[in-house]
Chains A and B, each alone.
Chain A
């Protein structure tokens, strides 16, 4: 730790009291990126972390100078640690966690945090184990320095917990926190002390990423989702057409994924992605709790389903009881 530092004065007023309480603490945020693009969830994590203490960000990978420079400009970021190493190329959890461990041993952060995603779920608990710390994942509200709320039972209950973990490893739901501003910061970029990468139990082989021109599911303002009711992979094209009309991202229920209509990456729900767009249009989705866990915080929910008893209508703001094969083309036409 570099002793005591005070926050500079241009934070919003409502944070003032929290700042006084937490200004002696330091937080490390794990940046999530694809090598050439910063994942927007990192900004949500930075904003959540602003309530906890002074912010440093770790960018791990190879050829990541651009990402580090981008992160250094994010509001309130004080330091950016670059870990550039061949072993970190594919950001395998074994090596990223080792980097976090090395950094933590030197800087002794109070909090090590990230946006809630498969990336952070992979890494944070592995690193936490080295410090005998129980992580708290999927946080949706920060009450004070050690008290948080997270959903349990597929979002059907909210659990408020207090943690006494020696180092607090936390992940924040991106949908529950606004993104930090991408400008205004002037973080100092530093190199991370090299970690011991002699571990050879794992090797990256290949990756197959979903390529899409559409907006990313987790940051999209509008999402059109299809369920089993869509009927086939072929029929799913009306969902894509409607999404294109609305410049929306495409999502799916687990039933649609399991039936092979679309690939897994589009799954919204407890075991898929959690989204909270301005407008969520559920087409042919019954609304099982597994699915609603991932979308019920959307601002406006529209449900199109021919089954009037479908539980999706219980949470929908606007419901249309009709055959989707008839009304979705009409809707595309009308928009």
Chain B
């Protein structure tokens, strides 16, 4: 069984982002980037399935500027066997929407023929949370989104527990299928130094969207990126009675 894992390079989750003064986007230069946390979880799951000898090969894919190769090297260090980098210029990468990513992943799936495609449930930069579902739709494959437990049932089927609004539900999916990872799926490992060294020799194939016959087109145009409204500074109270008085004054209790 082959697993394809899509990983995205994003601004590190711990960074407090800043909006560009000209309102065209957020400042990305000289800002710490790392692998999207949900993608790390997706990758970890694929690697664990390989360790359980359910999956034979894990292929990591990333779409983005040349620096995305660092993210792919991290994926290789964490256990992916090989990587595919679909390169686009930095300025274009900013504009790429989930639909285009899904179209390219579909083409890659047609040549790589994976049995499972893993993605994170959302990227923490654009917060769209669409790519996995769009991809499953384009491929007409079953989708198991927000997965928190994945178990192989037979050669062709997996049982997946999903985190949904009211609780959790369990479904049976037939491969090939698309799975998106929820936070609770696993605890991703750290890449060890020897593995980081070894990852340097693992194959990393370079591609362009045009190699897949895909033209960069946009349906969503960013008009303006702004700071959210700032909340007014609040007050401190000394003790519980003054808290209660204050809440009563405000008419909320």
Interface residues of A (CB under 8 A from B): 34, 90, 92-94, 97, 117-119, 121-130, 132-138, 147, 150-165, 199-210, 222, 246, 254, 258, 263-265, 270-271, 273, 278-279, 289-290, 296, 299-302, 313-322, 327, 330-331, 334-335
Contact = CB atoms under 8 A, between A and B. Distances in A.
Contact of A319 (B102, B167, B234): B234
Nearest to B100: A134
B169 A160 contact: no
Given A125-B134, A156-B228, A208 B17 contact: no
Contact of A126 (B11, B126, B133, B171): B133
Contacts of B252: 222, 278-279, 299-300
A144 to B, nearest CB: 11
B137 A204 contact: no
A156 B99 contact: no
Contacts of B129: 121, 137
A137 B239 CA distance: 42
A138 B163 contact: no
A156 B173 contact: no
B195 interface: no
A201 B16 contact: no
Contact of B166 (A164, A165, A203, A210): A210
11 contacts: A94-B142, A135-B134, A154-B127, A157-B17, A163-B220, A165-B219, A201-B141, A208-B169, A265-B166, A271-B122, A279-B247
Contacts of A93: 133, 143, 145
Nearest to A161: B220
A118 B180 CA distance: 12
A121 B171 CA distance: 17
Interface centre among B11, B102, B133, B164 (most CB of A within 10 A): B133
Nearest to A292: B231
Nearest to A163: B220
Contacts of A334: 240-241, 244
Contact of A203 (B17, B146, B167, B171): B171
B247 A302 contact: yes
A151 B136 contact: no
B229 to A, nearest CB: 9
The 10 closest A-B CB pairs, nearest first, are A129-B137, A201-B142, A125-B133, A126-B137, A207-B169, A209-B167, A134-B219, A134-B99, A317-B234, A202-B142
